[in-house]
A = this chain, B = another copy of it.
Amino acid sequence: MAGEAVASFQAHKIPPTVTASISSRIHGRHLGLPVRAGHSNIAADPAPRREQRKPEKALNLPSSISSILHLNLDTHLPTNLLSVLHLNGNDHRSPKDDVLSHYLKNTPTASPKENIASIWREIHGARDWAGLLDPLHSWLRREIVKYGEFAQATYDAFDDDRFSRYCGSCRFGRSRLFSQLGLAHNGYEVTRYLYAMSHVEMPTWMERSLHAETWSKDSNWMGYVAVSSDEETRRIGRRDIVVAWRGTVTPAEWSKDVQQRLEPLHDAGGKLQHDRHKDVVKVEHGFRSLYTSKAESTRYNKTSASEQVMEEIRRLVKMYSDRGEEVSLTVTGHSLGGALALLNAHEAAAVGIPGLSHVSVVSFGAPRVGNAAFVGELEELGVKVMRVVNQQDLVPRLPGAFFNEDLGKIFPVESLDWVYSHAGVELEVDTKSSPYLKQSMTDLPAFHSLETYLHLVDGLGSVVGAFRREVRRDVALVNKACGLLRDELKIPACWYQPSNKGLVRNAHGRWVVPERDPEDIPSPLRHRAPPPSPSRSPNSQGAVPYLVAA
A 93-122 binary contact with B (CB < 8 Å = 1; else 0): 001011000001111111000000000000
Would you list the 10 A-B pairs with minimal beta carbon distance, nearest first? A3-B550, A109-B509, A163-B490, A499-B499, A495-B501, A476-B511, A95-B212, A492-B501, A474-B510, A2-B214
Q: Which residues of B lie under 8 Å from residue A213 when comparing CB positions? A: 95, 98
Copies of this protein in the complex: 2
A105-B508, A109-B510, A477-B511 given; 19 more Cβ-contact pairs under 8 Å: A1-B217, A2-B208, A3-B550, A6-B211, A6-B212, A7-B550, A95-B549, A95-B550, A106-B508, A474-B511, A476-B503, A476-B510, A491-B511, A491-B513, A492-B502, A492-B503, A494-B501, A495-B500, A497-B501
Whether A550 lies near B2 (C-beta < 8 A) is: yes
Q: Which residues of B lie under 8 Å from residue A488 when comparing CB positions? A: 210
Binding site for B on A (CB under 8 A): 1-3, 5-7, 95, 97-98, 104-110, 161, 163, 208-214, 217, 474, 476-477, 487-488, 490-492, 494-503, 506, 508-513, 549-550
Which residue of chain B lies nearest to A474 when distances are taken between CB atoms in the complex? B510
Bound-state Cα–Cα, A106 to B512, Å: 10
Q: Which residues of B lie under 8 Å from residue A474 when comparing CB positions? A: 509-511
In the complex, what's the smallest C-beta–C-beta distance from A326 to chain B, in angstroms? 32
Whether B98 lies near A210 (C-beta < 8 A) is: no
Which residue of chain B lies nearest to A495 when distances are taken between CB atoms in the complex? B501
Whether B109 lies near A487 (C-beta < 8 A) is: no
Q: Would you give 25 A-B contacts (Cβ < 8 Å), ordered by A? A: A1-B208, A2-B212, A2-B550, A3-B212, A5-B210, A6-B212, A95-B213, A98-B213, A105-B508, A105-B510, A107-B508, A107-B510, A109-B509, A163-B490, A163-B492, A210-B490, A474-B509, A476-B503, A476-B510, A476-B511, A476-B512, A491-B511, A491-B513, A495-B500, A497-B500
Whether A508 lies near B98 (C-beta < 8 A) is: no
Bound-state Cα–Cα, A488 to B211, Å: 8
Given known pairs A97-B211, A98-B213, A212-B3, the reply for A104 and B498 (CB within 8 Å) is: no
Bound-state Cα–Cα, A499 to B497, Å: 6
Given known pairs A3-B550, A497-B500, A512-B105, the reply for A490 and B211 (CB within 8 Å) is: yes
In the complex, what's the smallest C-beta–C-beta distance from A489 to chain B, in angstroms? 8
Contact of A6 among B6, B499, B500, B550 (CB under 8 A): B550
Which residue of chain B lies nearest to A106 when distances are taken between CB atoms in the complex? B508
Q: Which residues of B lie under 8 Å from residue A512 when comparing CB positions? A: 105, 476
Bound-state Cα–Cα, A462 to B498, Å: 39
Contact of A503 among B7, B161, B491 (CB under 8 A): B491
